[in-house]
Amino acid sequence: MLEIIDLSHSFRNGAEETKVLDGINLVVDKKEVVALLGSSGSGKSTLLNLMAGLMKPTKGSIRIAGQPIEKMNENQLAEFRRGNIGFIFQSYELIPHLSVIENVELPLIFQGEKPKLRKEKAEAILSQVGLEEKSKLYPSQLSGGQQQRVSIARSLVTSPSIVFADEPTGNLDTKTEEEIIGLLLDLNARLDITFMIVTHEQEVARRAERTIVLRDGRLVSTEESRGAAE
Ligand SMILES: Nc1ncnc2c1ncn2[C@@H]1O[C@H](COP(=O)(O)OP(=O)(O)OP(=O)(O)O)[C@@H](O)[C@H]1O
């Protein structure tokens, strides 16, 4: 599903070059749930942004469904991302003047989907995240957990094969965090989607199938958690 081969990334600031990721290798199978841990500044967001095709790596390859995304030009990448990749942000990134259902329909508009089908798909995924009753409300009328559910629905409405989540529960209280993680695991089981979740929370890591840890830009350990017990 996802294969990372000898991936390195540096940021250049004037004459100074800082290596943030150094020789990362990783294989994630279809339908796996992987938690990506590491202290602040270890390179988690950088790795996630590279895997999601939001940035180009300095060196190495990132293959999603067999396709090396670093070789794609901007247009190819945009099209590939629209069809294959979902992204969930810590701060939800919903559009405030659009209703819940309009937010969820947005990626389908970019795909050129017909209005009737758009609405049907958005309604179906909103019911999967338990928000069918809230479709006409606006983001400001929802709780943080509900807003994150909308953003999860938006990331899934195009039926991506992999969803990247950057600290999806970082702004939520413990109870809501548990609900959101439960929802992601449930969606993973129901919809055959691979999830890669960046987190600071041990609880998220505990419930994922596998945790990987970044330290100073290197993948220092991978361990089986939930998967090993099954
Ligand atoms: N655009 C950039 N230009 C220069 N340096 C950057 C840039 N983005 C990130 N960095 C540096 O790369 C390193 C890794 O940052 P990154 O955001 O990937 O870490 P992180 O593990 O996600 O941290 P956090 O948990 O605090 O979000 C940091 O030292 C950061 O300062």
How confident is residue 204, by pLDDT bands cut at 50, 70 and 90? Answer: confident
Q: Which residue's CA lies nearest to atom 29 of ligand 1?
A: 41
Q: Which long-range contacts (CB under 8 A, 24 or more apart) does 110-116 make?
A: 110/82, 111/82, 111/83, 111/158
Question: Residue 41 Cα, ligand 1 centroid: separation in angstroms?
Answer: 5
What mean pLDDT is predicted for residues 51-73? 94
Q: Which residues contact 26 (CB under 8 A, 6 or more apart)?
A: 2, 3, 4, 212, 219, 222
Average predicted confidence (pLDDT) for the chain? 91
What mean pLDDT is predicted for residues 198-227? 79
Cα 159 to Cα 12, 81, 218: the distances in Å are: 36, 11, 31
Q: Which residue's CA lies nearest to atom 30 of ligand 1?
A: 41
Q: Which residue's CA lies nearest to atom 13 of ligand 1?
A: 41
pLDDT in tens, 66-116: 999 999 999 999 999 998 999 999 999 999 999 999 999 999 999 999 999
Supply the pLDDT for residue 8.
96
ipTM confidence score: 0.96
How confident is residue 224, by pLDDT bands cut at 50, 70 and 90? Answer: low
Q: Which residues face 221 on adjacent strands?
A: 213
| Sequence ranges of the domains in the chain | 2-229
Residue 104, H or E segment: helix 100-110
Q: How far apart are CA 150 and CA 47, in angstroms?
A: 25
Supply the pLDDT for residue 35.
93
Q: How far apart are CA 116 and CA 98, in angstroms?
A: 18
Cα angle at 224 between 70 and 218, to 5 degrees? 45
What mean pLDDT is predicted for residues 185-212? 88
- Three-state DSSP class for residue 160: coil
Question: Residue 200 Cα, ligand 1 centroid: separation in angstroms?
Answer: 15
What mean pLDDT is predicted for residues 45-52? 94
How confident is residue 222, by pLDDT bands cut at 50, 70 and 90? Answer: low
Q: Which atom of ligand 1 is nearest to the CA of 49?
A: 18
What mean pLDDT is predicted for residues 17-33? 94
Question: Residue 42 Cα, ligand 1 centroid: separation in angstroms?
Answer: 7
Instruction: Establish whether residue 20 lines the binding site of ligand 1, counting it when its CB lies within 6 angstroms of any ligand atom.
Output: yes
Instruction: Establish whether residue 17 lines the binding site of ligand 1, counting it when its CB lies within 6 angstroms of any ligand atom.
Output: no
pLDDT in tens, 117-164: 999 999 999 999 999 999 999 999 999 999 999 999 999 999 999 999
Supply the pLDDT for residue 89.
92
Q: Is the pLDDT of residue 56 over 50?
A: yes
Among 22, 44, 199, 204, which is best to mutate for testing ligand 1, by the most ligand atoms less than 8 A from CB?
44
Contact 113, 104 (CB under 8 A): no
Among 45, 48, 199, 214, which is best to mutate for testing ligand 1, by the most ligand atoms less than 8 A from CB?
45
How confident is residue 229, by pLDDT bands cut at 50, 70 and 90? Answer: very low
pTM, whole model, 2 decimals? 0.91
Instruction: Establish whether residue 44 lines the binding site of ligand 1, counting it when its CB lies within 6 angstroms of any ligand atom.
Output: yes
Question: Residue 196 Cα, ligand 1 centroid: separation in angstroms?
Answer: 18
User: Which CATH code for domain 2-229?
Assistant: 3.40.50.300
Q: Give which of 34, 1, 38 is closest to 219, Cα–Cα.
A: 38
Q: Which residue's CA lies nearest to atom 31 of ligand 1?
A: 41
Supply the pLDDT for residue 192.
85
Q: Give which of 195, 173, 171 is closest to 183, Cα–Cα.
A: 195
Q: Which residues contact 58 (CB under 8 A, 6 or more apart)?
A: 8, 9, 10
